[in-house]
Amino acid sequence: MPLLEIKDLTHFFGGLRAVHKFHTRIEPGEIRGLIGPNGAGKTTVFNLTTGVYKPTQGQILFDGQDITGKPPHEIGRLGISRTYQNLRLWGNLTALDNVKIAFYGRIRYGLLGAFFGLRGRSEEERRIDREARELMALLGIEQYADMVVSGLPYGIQRKVEMARALATRPKLLLLDEPTAGMTPAEMEETMEFVLYIRKTFNLTIWLIEHKMRFVMGLCRWIQVLNFGEIIAEGTPEEVQNNPEVIRAYLGTAVT
Amino acid sequence: MQQTSTPSRFGSLYGRIRARFQDVPISAWLVGMLAAVLVEALIGRDLAYMLGLGNLPSFFGLSLIFKKWTLIPSIVVFIVVVYVLPALGAVYLVRWAMHRWRGARSVAWVQRIPTRGYIIFNLAFVYVVLHFWAASSDYRLLVLRLLGVNIILTLSLNLVNGWMGEFSVSVAGFMAVGAYVSSVLMVWGFVNDDVFGPAVFPEAWAPYAFPLALIVAGAVTAFTALAVAIPSFRTRGDYLAIITLAYLFIVKSSIENIDFLGGARGFMNQPKVADSLLVVFLWTVLAVWVMHNYVTSTLGKATSAVRDNEPAAEMMTVNTRKVKMVAFLTHAFWSGVAGGLYAHIVGYINPGSFGLVKSAEILGMLYLGGLNSVTGSVLGTVLFTLLSEILRPLKLVKWMVIPVILIVVMIKRPRGLLGFQEIRLPFLERRARAEEEVSHAPAGD
């Protein structure tokens, strides 16, 4: 059974058709790639999957469950998490708090516990603190835990965002251009990092990326989106040599 | 009296003072304050008379500067003799005693008190100091009780304007609802009144029913706040400011037009249940404790996540709508409770006392103290109140001086005195940490 199955997904922004009849089947453990020129609708597909927008038409099944139209915080609890193309950290908080807040869906005390500090709360807070620090240690950023996140270097912020995404205990992780703004050397490192977290946290990964080397190195199956429609899909080699894809990226020759 | 964690740009003098007093526990400062207060009670009146200050000055004689500047030397002498010397003497004495009997049984016993007990002990101490300080004049007592009310208001407003990052101006409106609801309940229950008829319950029960009346008042206020929360939390931005402003005016003109509440003439005869400092002190401590608990819990910190980036918070499993509701309704609840306290402290309320000016005053305290800070809200309220009392002789000019001071603070420290930081108490933190390491008993931070 696929972990994520999307059927016939169409979305309009007003009169603009952003996504048209998108479909996919992602198997557990896979690293799937989604590529396409700017404005092709890749991020919109991610936003539809995570519930930011309610699709005009179509169905999204996650782990055998229909999640179409559910709000993001419920989808997050079911096991989908993501990072953003432009970092969306909570800038005024410490790196540790950024990770801790992502435990929200699994906190085992209620409002009364929060207001009156009953016994269950301090145990739970200790557990969250420990697990968040462990998670940060696994990503090698534990020494930044108590620093305010907006003051950290870009690369560290990326890792904090990753730690935060992992703190919700996802089964499926969506990465929106994980190497944006990186040098080739950093990109190589990130490739290994993605493989590392997939293995450590037993993840399925779906990623948007522009850098061909990155996608080719990680994904076995790639879908290419242009003007909201899938124009090609296949193995990296097949996609790379597909004339439609080349045309989408480079345009047609003027004759 | 507490050491703040402000950066060391106050120069080496500040640094030296800080270093010298860093290891002084809070209790020693409290002993010092108690000594000052007792010295004042003993010789304050006579000394003030001898120095030509007239009666015992209510706020350290500072406001006399504006009445007659030639009194400045006398005021300095008065402050040094009555407050500074006894306080420092006591602090040094306690420090010496701690050194002398280091490791003694009784000292070790004090150090083994769990953090929570230690905090309660110190709060009780604070109360004793305030009690003695207020004993000398009704004016001080009134100011202290209103200070407690303002602390609750400022901190609860901080939840929305600080942690949640929206802008609410309806504090005074919430206060009004709380004030009127609790007043009606108490007058109906315990006072023979023309409108509400004879007292329903014996008057002796009033002090015990008062907390209940306050909680009901808070709950009713929170319920009316839903009318603001439900429409405005679908979006972000300036909507909340506009809707809360509307709420404020609707509440005010509604009360003005409800006859059995006395309309614009006001409402009085509240039973005297908030005359003692203790009642207000306990409510203030309760409010600060509850809100502090909330904003330091992971559940409460999610409020800041909503402020910094709402879509990301929503994706990271935070139920953002619920988080916003809780913050806003908590703000309304405690503002209602504070309004109820206010009504019973002054014993007379009218719609005019809950106008936009009142909201602006609380906003001033909030931004002076700093957003996102529990201790900042307390500090801001205390400073603002002190300033307001000290500058009282300036009359109308006061409301030109205070805004100028606020503007200067905003230029020097744009986030307020303690924006996004707390006063740290190293002594208490060390104690809590040690406790955490020894056993896994709950730490009251």
Q: How confident is the model at residue A205 (pLDDT cuts 50, 70, 90)?
A: very high
Q: Cβ contact (<8 Å) for A104 and B299? A: yes
Looking at the structure, tell me whether residues B215 and B101 fall in a common domain: no
Looking at the structure, tell me whether residues B204 and B295 fall in a common domain: yes
From B78, B112, B146, give the residue that closes a domain: B112
Q: How many CB atoms lie within 10 A of CB B94?
A: 19
Residue B257 confidence (pLDDT): 94
User: Measured between beta carbons, which residues in chain B are less than 8 angstroms from residue A117?
Assistant: 293, 297, 442, 444
In a domain, B250, yes or no: yes
Residue A108 confidence (pLDDT): 92
Interface membership of A103 toward B (CB under 8 Å): yes
Sign of the C-alpha dihedral, residues B367, B370, B374, B376?
A: negative
Residue A233 confidence (pLDDT): 94
The owner of tokens 């300033």 is B387
CA distance readout (Å), A223 to A30, A80, A218? 13, 20, 13
From B301, B330, B365, give the residue that closes a domain: B365
B215-235 pLDDT per residue, tens? 999 999 999 999 999 988 877
Looking at the structure, tell me whether residues B228 and B188 fall in a common domain: yes
In a domain, B360, yes or no: yes
What CA–CA distance (Å, rounded) separates B3 from A170?
Answer: 44
Looking at the structure, tell me whether residues B230 and B281 fall in a common domain: yes
Looking at the structure, tell me whether residues B93 and B231 fall in a common domain: no
Looking at the structure, tell me whether residues B106 and B144 fall in a common domain: no
Sign of the C-alpha dihedral, residues B322, B326, B327, B328?
A: positive
Residue B118 confidence (pLDDT): 84
Q: What is the CA radius of gyration of chain B?
A: 23
Domain ranges of chain A: 1-79+170-255, 88-169
- Of the candidates A91, A93, A114, the beta carbon closest to that of B300 is on A114
What CA–CA distance (Å, rounded) separates A104 from A166?
Answer: 13
Looking at the structure, tell me whether residues B339 and B195 fall in a common domain: yes
Give chain B's domain count: 2
The fold for domain A88-169 equals Rossmann fold (3.40.50)
Q: Nearest Cα to A100, choosing from B327, B319, B320, B301?
A: B301
Looking at the structure, tell me whether residues B249 and B291 fall in a common domain: yes
In a domain, B395, yes or no: no
Cα B6 to chain centroid, rounded: 21
User: Measured between beta carbons, which residues in chain A are less than 8 angstroms from residue B308?
Assistant: 89-93
What CA–CA distance (Å, rounded) separates B120 from B444?
Answer: 11
**Statement: A1-79+170-255 belongs to CATH 3.30.30.60:** no
Q: Cβ contact (<8 Å) for B301 and A100? A: yes
pTM of the model: 0.92
Looking at the structure, tell me whether residues B143 and B85 fall in a common domain: no
Residue among B288, B314, B317 with most chain A CBs within 10 A, to mutate? B317
- Give the domain range for residue B39: 8-112
From B67, B94, B112, give the residue that closes a domain: B112
Q: CB–CB of B366/B159 below 8 Å?
A: no
Average pLDDT per block of 10 residues along chain B, 445 residues long: 46 71 78 92 89 84 82 89 92 85 72 81 93 92 96 98 94 97 95 88 93 98 94 81 94 93 91 94 97 95 96 96 96 98 96 94 95 95 93 88 92 89 76 66 43
B12-54 pLDDT per residue, tens? 677 777 777 777 778 888 899 999 999 999 998 889 888 888 8
Sign of the C-alpha dihedral, residues A215, A182, B315, A131?
A: positive
Looking at the structure, tell me whether residues B60 and B165 fall in a common domain: no
Q: How far is B216 from chain A (nearest CA, A)?
A: 18
Using DSSP's 3-state secondary structure scheme, residue B121 falls into helix
Residue B133: both structure tokens together: 């300080």
Interface membership of A179 toward B (CB under 8 Å): no
In a domain, B431, yes or no: no
CA distance readout (Å), B373 to B277, B335, B379, B409? 25, 18, 10, 16
The owner of tokens 């005869």 is B269
Residue A253 confidence (pLDDT): 64
Looking at the structure, tell me whether residues B255 and B334 fall in a common domain: yes
Say yes or no: do domains A1-79+170-255 and A88-169 share a fold. yes
Residue B8 confidence (pLDDT): 45
Interface membership of B422 toward A (CB under 8 Å): no
Looking at the structure, tell me whether residues B228 and B156 fall in a common domain: yes
In a domain, B409, yes or no: no
Q: Cβ contact (<8 Å) for A92 and B308? A: yes
User: Measured between beta carbons, which residues in chain B are less than 8 angstroms from residue A115?
Assistant: 290, 293-294
Alpha helices by DSSP H, chain A: 42-49, 72-78, 95-101, 111-116, 119-138, 154-167, 184-201, 212-218, 236-240, 243-250
Interface membership of B294 toward A (CB under 8 Å): yes
Interface membership of B395 toward A (CB under 8 Å): no
Mean pLDDT of chain A: 93
In a domain, B229, yes or no: yes
Q: How far is B249 from chain A (nearest CA, A)?
A: 31
What CA–CA distance (Å, rounded) separates B387 from B409?
Answer: 14
- Of the candidates A125, A128, A168, the beta carbon closest to that of B316 is on A168
In a domain, B209, yes or no: yes
In a domain, B303, yes or no: yes
Mean pLDDT of chain B: 88
